[in-house]
Chains A and B, each alone.
Chain A
Amino acid sequence: MERKEIVHKLTQVFHKTFDTTDLELTDVMTANDVDNWDSLTHMVLIGDVEKEFGIKFKLKELNKMNTVGHLIDMVADKTGRLQVQN
């Protein structure tokens, strides 16, 4: 999946999770930049991302994930691997 497409889909997931329509994702964005992004909504967000892309994160990966850019990279990596497998 193209990075642009991933960002587009992720933006929709973020909008749903944080109940907003004007959030623009950037690579350097962190939980501190988004209202209501706390430990709990983070888990809801991860669940929604996993569902949207049909992927599953490992706890170790979540632990190292500090920015939205990193999240995009991981989704790209995982969906890329899925495509290769298919």
Chain B
Amino acid sequence: MFYENIRSRLVTIASRFPDRNAFCINETFYTYAELWDLIGKIRMQLGEFNVENNRIGLVANDDLHTYASIFAAWLEGMAYVPLHPKQPLERNLEVISQAELLFVLDSGSERVFDSVSTVDTKACESLAPKTDEISVGDDALAYILFTSGSTGKPKGVPITRGNLATFMEVFLATDIVLDETDRCLQCFDLTFDISVQCYLTPLLHGACVYSVPHDQIKFTYVYGLLDDHELTFGVLAPSMVHHLRPYFEEIHLEKLKYCLLVAEATPIDLLQEWFKHIPNARVFNFYGPTEATIYCVSYEAKRHEKLKEANGLLAIGRPFEGTDAVILDENSQIAGRGVKGEMYVSGNQVTTGYWKNPEKNAEAFKILEFKGKSRIFYKTGDLCMEDVDGDILYYGRLDYQVKIQGYRIELGEIEFHAREAIGGKNAVAFVYEAEGGSKQIALALETVSFDEKKVIGFLNTKLPAYMLPSKMFNVEKFPLNTSDKVDRKQIAALLTV
């Protein structure tokens, strides 16, 4: 499947459109011929090393060599493990150690990892490109990404070539049509799986990928790309759209055909405003844990129709073809429509399990009887509900559902009303331990200043007393984590009890 859906397609595209641009990196364009040539040269370079375990580290720089290295690794039958040059050295060393990497590909000038051999991909220029084929099955890995683990140690999510090829096939079946004239945004770190969709989809259509250099201020640069280069396909985290909000009146992106909202929940009031500034774009909300390969559930938000939502968050819609999503109630029974519970997903996009981590696998995967068969499901940790039409509504992480004074509370509901109280700005509610050990609710508001009495007064008209926050504070800008999601842990740490 990987061979037909990805490898063969790329070969065809590179030979059909040699002179078209494959990448725009830091305002420099690179053609498919240049990309293909570089892939062949890096393959030649890789062939000189004995990478026995078929896993290779890749320093995620923002240049053509880094992207070419991904394909070179794949064509050589290897999986890549991205290492972000801006992430702490200790974390990268932990990833190198867990993935048992022996070699790291790096196009940068600084050699940073002592424990492995570094292959300087810039040194491949004089080599003759390698073009022969190596046959590798779909069970072989395409990449391993490390996500943050609750124990503080990153955990590896291995994704097979079969997982990735399945994703690519069904993603395109969601009614997204691209061709060689498209210009597509890639603003995600290569250590985050959404980047794979952002570079791979355009390249399989002969389109051009526009990336964001590490040293740029992301939200202004992204806007610059969308506007100056008239991008047609933009994948954005809602937090980025939120950061552009103070400047919405300047934004008018007529050429944008598709806007995909990904990585976190989308507040519908933000989307309703955003619609006006992307007048010709179809908007999709894509949901998916890294464990189920990029995205596995999607919802098209149609501008002239009523949007489905829960607590002000846009619905996530229906599972992809080939993915089964079930919602289990409190008693671990399959919940009927209209009953909230934790979502579990199964199918060919789901990883075979965390990298060498049986303990975590026992927690996160569960065998369920579904449609007359026993199958392995991944436990997403997300609180969802299927509505009467079969669309899935998203309520937030399961751990946002907390018990206070015996009452079950959804923090998302508090946040929904809090956002309304402060004119649509962001709000994060969380539980903290007050003096004496009792659990109470705190509310962080992303605003320069606020009137506490007014906010409480408003919340009082919307929420029962046990849902009112006992502490409130403001943060001028909410911190984001490396995946561009609002970092709730960092916000909670700002509370002074």
Contacts and interface: CB of A to CB of B under 8 A. Distances in A.
B211 to A, nearest CB: 15
Nearest to A66: B216
A40 B479 contact: yes
A42 interface: yes
B221 interface: yes
B247 A31 contact: no
A82 B224 CA distance: 27
A40 to B, nearest CB: 5
Contact of B220 (A32, A40, A44, A62): A62
Contacts of B224: 63-64
A59 interface: yes
A58 B247 contact: yes
Contact of A39 (B217, B223, B247, B251): B217
A32 B250 contact: no
A60 B217 contact: no
Given A59-B223, A59-B247, A60-B250, A47 B476 contact: yes
Contacts of A59: 220, 223, 244, 247, 250-251
Interface in B173-225: 215, 217-221, 223-224
A78 to B, nearest CB: 16
Nearest to A64: B224
A23 interface: no
A64 B219 CA distance: 12
B219 A43 contact: yes
A43 B247 contact: no
Contacts of B223: 59, 63
Interface residues of B, number: 19
B243 interface: yes
A14 to B, nearest CB: 15
Nearest to B212: A39
B480 interface: yes
Given A31-B217, A59-B223, A63-B221, A40 B247 contact: no
Nearest to A57: B247
B476 A42 contact: no
Contacts of A30: 215
B95 to A, nearest CB: 22
A65 B219 CA distance: 13
Interface string A52-83: 00000011101111000000000000000000
Given A40-B480, A44-B477, A32 B221 contact: no
A52 to B, nearest CB: 13
Contacts of B218: 39
Contacts of B476: 44, 47
Given A40-B480, A59-B251, A60-B250, A32 B215 contact: yes
Nearest to B475: A44
A65 B227 CA distance: 16
A39 B219 contact: yes
A30 B479 CA distance: 21
A44 B224 CA distance: 20
Given A40-B480, A44-B476, A44-B477, A62 B217 contact: yes
A43 B251 contact: no
Interface in B238-273: 243-244, 247, 250-251
Nearest to A56: B246
Interface string A11-54: 00000000000000000001110000011101110010000000
Contacts of B448: 47
Contacts of B480: 39-40
Identify which of A30, A43, A44, A47 gathers the most chain B CB atoms within 10 Å of its CB: A43
Contacts of B215: 30-32
B8 to A, nearest CB: 38
Identify which of A38, A40, A64 gathers the most chain B CB atoms within 10 Å of its CB: A40
Contacts of B217: 31, 38-39, 42, 62
B172 to A, nearest CB: 31
28 contacts: A30-B215, A31-B215, A31-B217, A32-B215, A38-B217, A39-B217, A39-B218, A39-B219, A40-B477, A40-B479, A43-B219, A43-B243, A43-B477, A47-B476, A58-B250, A59-B220, A59-B223, A59-B244, A59-B247, A59-B250, A60-B227, A60-B250, A62-B217, A62-B220, A63-B220, A63-B221, A63-B224, A65-B220
Given A59-B244, A60-B227, 14 more contacts: A30-B215, A31-B215, A31-B217, A39-B218, A39-B219, A40-B477, A40-B479, A40-B480, A43-B477, A58-B247, A59-B250, A63-B223, A63-B224, A64-B224
The 9 closest A-B pairs by CB, nearest first: A59-B247, A63-B224, A39-B218, A63-B220, A62-B220, A42-B217, A59-B250, A39-B217, A32-B215
